[in-house]
Amino acid sequence: MHGRAILLTLLMVTMSLSGCFGNEETFEEPEVVIEESPRVFVTDKTGNSVDIQPIEMTFQFSDVGETGKEPSIGVTSSGCIFFIAMEKVMRSCDAGETWEETQDPVQCSPTTSDPYGWVDTITDRVFNVQMIGLETSWICWSDDDGQTWLGNPHDSGTTPINDHIKLATGPWTTAGYGALGQITGSTIYETAVYYCYNKLAGIFCFTSFDGGATFEAGGQIIGLATTNGGLHGAISTAPDGTVYVTPRVETPSVIVSKDNGFTWFERTMGEDVGTPYPRKNSEISTDTESNAYHIWTGGDEGVYMSRSTDSGETWEQESIRISPAGVISTVFPQTDAGDPGRIAVTYLGSENTEMLNESNIDGSPWDGNAHYAPNNATYHLYITYSLNALDDNPIFHTYRVTDDPVQIGSICLNSGDCRDIGGSNRNLLDFNDLHIDSEGRVYVAFADGCTGNCATNNNSSAEDSRDGLGSMYYLAGGPSLLVEYGVLSPIMAAVSEM
C-alpha cells in the first residue's frame, strides 16, 4: 500500500478554534518519518545525473477511498481539498486525514461519464463539471467550500459530441472580452471562466461573464479532431490573463489567447523530440510573472519542457528533459508553478530498462511506449521539482514517491485500441492532476491501478492491476513554490469535534 512509503505518527497539539463549519477543532501535527531508501534523482536538462545534493522533501499519502480515474484537485484558501473524479466530489478539510462526498444531486447532475473539477484561487469558487451523454454538460459551483451548490446545463449544440470537457478561471484583460464591463457598464464576475470541449469539428472554447452560469461568447478555436488536435488537454491561465489550451498533435503545440478567448493563435515547439503514438495531452503551467512552462511526453518517452517568457508569443525550440534518463517510459505529465523558475511536475514512469527491446504485448520489441508495455512492467508515481527552471542549465530533483506500483503492465493511451488482459488496461483513463495551494504547497491527485493483493504480492502481473483508486500525495515538508513561504512544515490538520 502506498501509505507505507512515508510513515506517519501523530502528535496531538491541543488548540480550540471555531472551525470553518462552526465546530470545535483540535489540531493533529504529523511527524513525518521518511522512507529509509527513497528513489531520488538529481538531473540536468538532458536527464543525466549531476553531483548536487537533492532538495530535502517529504510527501504525505492520502487514500481518498473512492474511484479516482481522471481526477482533478484544488485547494481553497480555507485549506479544504477537493478531489473530483467519476461521479463524486470528495472533500477533505483535515489535510487528507478523512474524506467526505459533497455535491447536490438537484443542482448538479447525479451521473456523469467524464467529470472535471476546478478551484478558482482568486474567488475560492469550486467548480464541478459533468458530461451528460454526448450533447450536454452540467456545470455547478460552490462558494462555501462545497456546503451548497448551484448549477446550470450547457448544451453543446446540434453536433452530437461533447467530450474532453475542461474548465478554468483567470484574470480579465483589457484587450478583449475583459473590456466588456467598461464599455457597457455591466457587472461581470471577478474572474473570467473558460469552458472547452471537443466535437468532431475540433476544439470549442467559451468564456463566461457571470462566473460560469452561462457561456455565450466563443466558439471553435481549431479544426477537425481527426486531423489537427480536437482532443485537447487542460486549460491554463496566467496572471496577465493569457489563456493556453494544448491540442493532442504530433508536433507539440499550444493554442493561446490574450483577450479572454476572443481570438486565438497557435505556436509550436519540441520538433527535436516530438511525441509518441498513441499520445496523451500535454500541459502548461505559468508562474507569478506569467512565464509559461509547456510539459509533454516526448517521442523517446521522457518528459520534456519548453519555456516562454513573453506570454506564449515565442517558445524555445531546444527541448529540456525533466525526467531522469533512467525513467524510460512516462505518461500523464501534469504541472504547476509558483514564483519564477519554481515548478513541480508529476507523471507515471517506469524504470524497467531491462525490458527494453524485449517482446511487448504485441510481440514486437518494446521501446518504452506505455501503451505496449510488457505484462510485468511496473509504473510508479514521480514528483519533480525545479527551483531554477528558467536558468540556462536548470536542475531537476525527482522523487519516486510510491513504494509499490501504480500500474503493472501496459497503460492504454488510445480509447479505441485497448488490450484485454484480465480486463481492459484503460483502467487509468486519460490524466492525473497537480496544483499548488495559496502557500505554494504541491498536491498531486492520481488513480492507483494496483491495490490490495496486487500491491502486496511480489508476483503480481498485468491482470491484477485493473483498479483506479482515488489517491493523493501532498508536500509534507520542503520548499514552497512561493518564495515568501520558505520551507514548509507538515500541515496541522484540523479535526472537528462534534
pLDDT for 160-187, tens place per residue?
Answer: 456 788 999 999 998 877 666 555 556 6
| pLDDT at residue 112 tops 90 | no
pLDDT for 37-76, tens place per residue?
Answer: 569 999 999 999 999 999 999 999 999 999 999 999 999 9
pLDDT for 255-290, tens place per residue?
Answer: 999 999 999 999 999 999 999 998 899 999 999 999
Distance, in Å, from the CA atom of 122 to the CA atom of 438, rounded to the nearest integer, reads 10
Distance, in Å, from the CA atom of 214 to the CA atom of 184, rounded to the nearest integer, reads 18
Indicate the range of 73-87, 196-210, 310-324, 326-340 predicted with least confidence: 196-210
CB 361 within 8 A of CB 371: no
| pLDDT at residue 6 tops 80 | no
Tell me the pairing of strands 303-308 and 217-222. unpaired
| pLDDT at residue 491 tops 90 | no
| Whole-number pLDDT of residue 37 | 52
| Whole-number pLDDT of residue 445 | 98
What's the angle, vertex CA 49, arms to CA 45 and CA 53, rounded to 5? 105
3-state secondary structure of 463: helix
Distance, in Å, from the CA atom of 433 to the CA atom of 74, rounded to the nearest integer, reads 9
Tell me the pairing of strands 7-18 and 217-222. unpaired
Structure-derived torsion over alpha carbons of residues 358, 364, 366, 367, reported in degrees to the nearest 10: 130
3-state secondary structure of 371: helix
Question: Residue 87's pLDDT band (boundaries 50, 70, 90)?
Answer: confident
Distance, in Å, from the CA atom of 173 to the CA atom of 313, rounded to the nearest integer, reads 16
Q: Please state the length of the chain.
A: 498
**pTM across the whole model:** 0.90
Could you state, in order of their start, the residue ranges of all structural domains in the chain? 40-489
| Whole-number pLDDT of residue 28 | 52
Q: What is the residue-averaged pLDDT of the chain?
A: 86
134 or 89, greater pLDDT: 89
SS (H, E, C) 414-479: CCCCCCECCCECCCCCCCCEEEECCCCCEEEEEEECCCCHHHHCCCCCHHHCCCCEEEEEEEEEEE
* Cβ-based neighbours of 424, under 8 Å, separated by 6 or more: 412, 418, 466
Instruction: State the residue for C-alpha cell 504529523.
Output: 30
H-helix or E-strand spanning residue 292? strand 292-297
Distance, in Å, from the CA atom of 372 to the CA atom of 364, rounded to the nearest integer, reads 9
309 or 133, greater pLDDT: 309
Distance, in Å, from the CA atom of 295 to the CA atom of 382, rounded to the nearest integer, reads 14
| Whole-number pLDDT of residue 309 | 98
Question: Residue 420's pLDDT band (boundaries 50, 70, 90)?
Answer: low
What value does the mean pLDDT take over residues 78-100?
Answer: 94
| Whole-number pLDDT of residue 462 | 92
| Whole-number pLDDT of residue 20 | 42
Q: What is the CATH number of domain 40-489?
A: 2.120.10.10
Whether the ω angle into residue 278 lies within 30 degrees of 0, i.e. cis, is: yes
Instruction: State the residue for C-alpha cell 479535526.
Output: 495
